[in-house]
Chains A and B, each alone.
Chain A
C-alpha cells in the first residue's frame, strides 16, 4: 500500500487543495497512466488522459483523474479491467 508523508506547514484546507499535495500524488497518476497505455487497443490508449482536479468547498481536495473516452473506456474496462489493473500496479 502506497503512503505519502506531508509536513504540515499550513491549514489542512490549504494543504488538501495545494500544489504540494498535488506534486506528491502526481507520480501515482503517472504510473497509472503509463500502465494503462500498455493496453493493446490503440484507439483506447489514444484517448487516455490525466488531469488535476481540485474540488471546492470546506472539504475540497486535490486529486488526479486518469480516464479514457467514455464509450470505449467503459468497453475496455469491462473487457480487460485495464485501469483497475493499472491502479493496482501503481500500488494503490
Chain B
C-alpha cells in the first residue's frame, strides 16, 4: 500500500495569529498556546488535541479553547466571539473546514486563577478542523 508523502505542520501558531487579529476589538487580550505564569486580565489559549486522517492529505484535528477574564459575562462572550470567528476560519492557511463546535462551558478552577487580587472567570469550548497537509517535496 502506498502512503501519500504528506506532512502536517503545527497549526496552533496559525490559530493564535488568526484569533489575535479576529478578536482585536478585545482590548488587552492575550492569545497564546500556553497559559503564562502570571495571568493577564484577558487570556485566550488554543490547545491542539490531535485527530485522525479523513482522506488523502487531510486530518480532522481537534482543538480546545480556554478563556479567562475578570468578568464572567465577558469570559463567556469572549469564547462565543472566538467560536464565531472560528466558523469563518475555512480557507485560512491549511484549514479547509470547521465543525463539532461545543461550548462555551464554565469551568470552576480550584483555586481560581487571579489577575492581581481579582479572581478570573474561566470558560471552555472545543471544535474540530479539517487540516490539509503539505508535501515536503513540493
Contact = CB atoms under 8 A, between A and B. Distances in A.
A91 B64 contact: no
Interface of A is mostly: helix
A78 B107 contact: yes
Contact of A78 (B52, B55, B122): B122
Given A1-B54, A85-B49, A85-B50, A75 B108 contact: yes
A69 to B, nearest CB: 13
28 contacts: A1-B53, A1-B54, A1-B55, A2-B52, A71-B108, A74-B105, A74-B107, A74-B124, A75-B108, A75-B109, A77-B124, A77-B126, A78-B64, A78-B122, A78-B124, A81-B49, A81-B62, A81-B64, A81-B126, A84-B49, A84-B64, A85-B50, A87-B62, A88-B49, A88-B51, A88-B52, A89-B52, A91-B52
A1 B106 CA distance: 30
Interface of B: 47, 49-55, 60, 62, 64, 66, 105-110, 122, 124, 126
Nearest to B122: A78
Interface of A: 1-2, 71, 74-75, 77-78, 81, 84-85, 87-89, 91-92
A73 to B, nearest CB: 10
Nearest to B59: A88
Contacts of B60: 1, 88
A87 B110 CA distance: 27
Contacts of B126: 77, 81, 84
Contact of B62 (A2, A75, A84, A91): A84
A88 B108 CA distance: 26
Contacts of A71: 108
B108 A92 contact: no
A89 B50 CA distance: 9
B49 to A, nearest CB: 4
A71 B110 CA distance: 11
10 A-B pairs closest in CB distance:
A88-B51, A81-B49, A78-B124, A84-B49, A81-B64, A78-B107, A1-B54, A84-B62, A91-B52, A85-B49
A91 B109 CA distance: 31
Given A75-B109, A81-B64, A88-B60, 13 more contacts: A1-B53, A1-B54, A1-B55, A2-B52, A74-B105, A74-B106, A77-B64, A78-B107, A81-B47, A81-B62, A84-B126, A88-B52, A88-B62
